[in-house]
């Protein structure tokens, strides 16, 4: 199990961007300790800024830094299945062409889907299955129906550098994805608890709900601007499912540190 989180904020929101990122990261830290990363895009920038490292979340939390003008964020903690974390390109956020994304789940037909694309596996020894999601997004121009080609389990989010200001979220099957809507924007995370942690430290009131299977959302300027449905893979069976809490010590350490950072 991995953990994903992030937000789309209204440009006029006064919420502290770095604290929001740290709150989400600390709250999902229990879901994986093989690698950690985040990505954001400044207004007017052509490319997303990506920060990632092969450590647990506790070794990045204090150094998370998100500029106050940033309104789009992706956060990830990794518990790897395919694509060894010693290869930096396998860790999230993962890039395919103009798309930078994060994923919780397993894609079983990634090699098949990536085979036609010359830009796939662009870095030596890159094998992470999640790249197939972002290839599908890149080559379909973020068409929800194209996600029906994916086999496996999926909760995911991405930025497309051709669509400034937009954060895409999608939930297939087999993995949770919660969203929380507030006056300042839309937040998302693998767990409802993560949104509750954010609401506590940011002092915001959230309307939370679990995203339905087979749903793609486009978020822009802190609001849901597009909603599409697709047929998720409901036939995938995970024969040896991993527990959702993979690093309870990381959760405890990060939440203690978050309390100090927010003081």
Q: How do the pLDDT tens digits run along the chain, 263 residues long?
A: 899 999 999 999 999 999 999 999 999 999 999 999 999 999 988 899 999 999 999 999 999 999 999 999 999 999 999 999 999 999 999 999 999 999 999 999 999 999 988 888 988 889 999 999 999 999 999 999 999 999 999 999 999 999 999 999 999 999 999 999 999 999 999 999 999 999 999 999 999 999 999 999 999 999 999 999 999 999 998 888 888 899 999 999 999 999 999 99
For 190: left if phi > 0, alpha if psi spans -120 to 50, otherwise beta; the answer is alpha
- Whole-number pLDDT of residue 44: 87
Nearest to 11 by CA among 130, 160, 201, 164: 164
- Whole-number pLDDT of residue 119: 84
- Whole-number pLDDT of residue 148: 98
- Signed CA dihedral, 251, 25, 21, 180: sign only: negative
The domain segmentation of the chain, as residue ranges, is: 3-262
For residue 152 the two structure tokens come to 């496996």
For residue 190 the two structure tokens come to 């693998």
Tell me if the pTM is above 0.95.
yes
User: Which CATH fold would you assign to the domain 3-262?
Assistant: 3.60.20
- Whole-number pLDDT of residue 3: 98
Dihedral in degrees, nearest 10, Cα atoms 52, 55, 57, 60 = -60
Measure CA of the first residue to CA of the last residue in the chain; give whole Å.
31
């Amino acid at each position: 199990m991995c953990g994903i989180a992030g937000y789309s904020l209204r440009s006029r929101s006064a919420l502290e961007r770095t604290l929001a990122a740290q709150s989400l990261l600390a709250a999902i830290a229990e879901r994986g300790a093989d690698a950690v990363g985040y990505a954001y895009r400044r207004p007017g920038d052509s490319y997303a800024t990506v920060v990632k490292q092969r450590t647990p979340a506790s070794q990045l939390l204090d150094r998370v830094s998100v500029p106050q003008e940033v309104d789009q964020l992706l956060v990830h903690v990794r518990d790897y299945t395919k694509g060894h974390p010693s290869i930096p390109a396998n860790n999230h956020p993962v890039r395919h062409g103009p798309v930078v994304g994060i994923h919780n789940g397993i894609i079983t037909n990634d090699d098949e889907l990536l085979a036609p694309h010359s830009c796939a596996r662009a870095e030596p020894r890159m094998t992470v299955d999640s790249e197939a999601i972002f290839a599908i997004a890149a080559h379909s121009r973020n068409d929800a129906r194209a996600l029906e080609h994916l086999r496996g389990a999926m909760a995911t989010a991405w930025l497309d550098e051709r669509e400034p200001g937009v954060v895409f979220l999608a939930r297939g099957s087999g993995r949770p994805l919660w969203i929380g809507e507030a006056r300042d924007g839309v937040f998302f995370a693998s767990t409802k608890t993560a949104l509750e942690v954010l609401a506590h430290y940011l002092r915001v009131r959230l309307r939370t709900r679990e995203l339905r299977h087979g749903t793609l959302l486009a978020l822009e300027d802190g609001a849901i601007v597009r909603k599409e449905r697709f047929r998720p893979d409901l036939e995938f069976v995970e024969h040896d499912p991993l527990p959702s809490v993979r690093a309870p010590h990381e959760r405890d350490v990060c939440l203690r540190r978050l309390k100090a950072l927010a003081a």
